[in-house]
Amino acid sequence: MNRFEVEQDPKSRDTYYLNMGPQHPSTHGVMRIKLHLDGERIISAEPIIGYGHRAHEKMAENRDYIQFLPNPSRVDYLGGMIYNVGYCQAVERAMDIEVPERAEYIRIVCNELNRISSHLLWLGTFLMDLGAFTPFLYAFDDREKILDILDRITGSRLTYCYARFGGVILDIDDVFLDNVSNFCTYFVERLKEYEKLVIGNVIFRERTIGVGIFAPDLAQKYAITGPCLRAMGHENDVRKDEPYGIYDRFDFDVPTQTEGDCFARTLVRMEEMRQSIRIIEQAVSDMPNGLFLAARVPRRIRPPEGDYYFCVESPRGSFGMYIASDGSDIPFRLKLRTPSFSHISAMPAVMASTMLADAVAILGSIDIVVPEIDR
């Protein structure tokens, strides 16, 4: 028996089980949630995962460091750039590879654009789960603008393989920088529209305020990170706490809320988009000239024997890579710590004794990406 399950009279025939998934409009992929329901009220919820398991960690053990490059962006297809860059940064840190200034700035711009696009998709799908169709299309329209900008230099729209050890694969040009600046000015205005349409809406508030509260002890129990943790009042951001890349050079705030409910998570993410725009604007104005790929990158990527842990701030939380190297060019073990997995583990505790419609809202608000859970 699940420890979150409410004591039930076994003879009681008033409750029933409902399988939400594996195919269900609001599980955002193939995931199943076994709901024990009393009418509309959830007695217990049990997420069942693994339908999209692709053995990324095992694949890492069978190919060398370079060959694993396309994989991280497939782990989380919404934050592909951040994962791709993060993996490169992890290996660079292990090998002490110098990255040129320009490459670092390009990476920051791309990372933050990617973060906005991921948050936009979250906004759209979350509101779709709540029954509003129109913001979904608006968010996709704006997301498409970001994808077009990134497409120009990376050649991909979703699963990027743009970063390389020691820099990036292609240099940016002035047109790219213009596009980014134009997008920034456009998007700041657009965010106000979203806030009018969504945040202010009384129905949206009714649906989210006080719904899906993460109890304070859950944060430690389940290693909640990212916007979900920030919505609980903890100012926790990998970019600030242990700055990687050159994030320590930029001036940005870590938005927090204290309630820990769906509405707080929404506010945190909306503010995060604004902060990302701030970072991008700073990075674009400071963009130095120079190399975009380090001139001297070791031909064979062989991190010295030992264990390395590196984490980056993905749109969903802290994405960590644990590399156990035995000195060869194939990782002995590469563990991916994905935030969605931690968050979905907390679902039984969060979903218990809410309504069926709330379950959908909670799932949407924590922004799960199912391939990231299964890996």
| CB of residue 351 to other proteins, shortest distance in Å | 13
Q: How far apart are CA 8 and CA 6, in angstroms?
A: 6
Nearer to other proteins, 74 or 343 (CB): 74
| CB of residue 337 to other proteins, shortest distance in Å | 22
Q: How far apart are CA 336 and CA 57, in angstroms?
A: 7
Please say whether the beta carbons of 313 and 237 come within 8 A.
yes
Nearer to other proteins, 224 or 336 (CB): 336
| CB of residue 67 to other proteins, shortest distance in Å | 4
The identity of residue 311, as a single letter, is C
What burial class does residue 315 get, using C-beta atoms within 10 Å of its C-beta: 0-12 exposed, 13-18 middle, 19+ buried?
buried
| CB of residue 182 to other proteins, shortest distance in Å | 16
Q: How far apart are CA 318 and CA 126, in angstroms?
A: 21
Nearer to other proteins, 223 or 351 (CB): 351
| CB of residue 17 to other proteins, shortest distance in Å | 9
Please say whether the beta carbons of 54 and 149 come within 8 A.
no
Nearer to other proteins, 229 or 264 (CB): 264
The identity of residue 201, as a single letter, is N
Nearer to other proteins, 155 or 290 (CB): 155
Residues that bind other proteins (CB under 8 A): 16, 18, 24-26, 40, 63, 66-71, 74, 127-134, 137-138, 141, 151-156, 159, 161, 164, 169-170, 193, 196-198, 200-207, 355-358, 360
DSSP 96-140: T----HHHHHHHHHHHHHHHHHHHHHHHHHHHHHTT--HHHHHHH
| CB of residue 216 to other proteins, shortest distance in Å | 25
Please say whether the beta carbons of 110 and 82 come within 8 A.
no
Nearer to other proteins, 3 or 202 (CB): 202
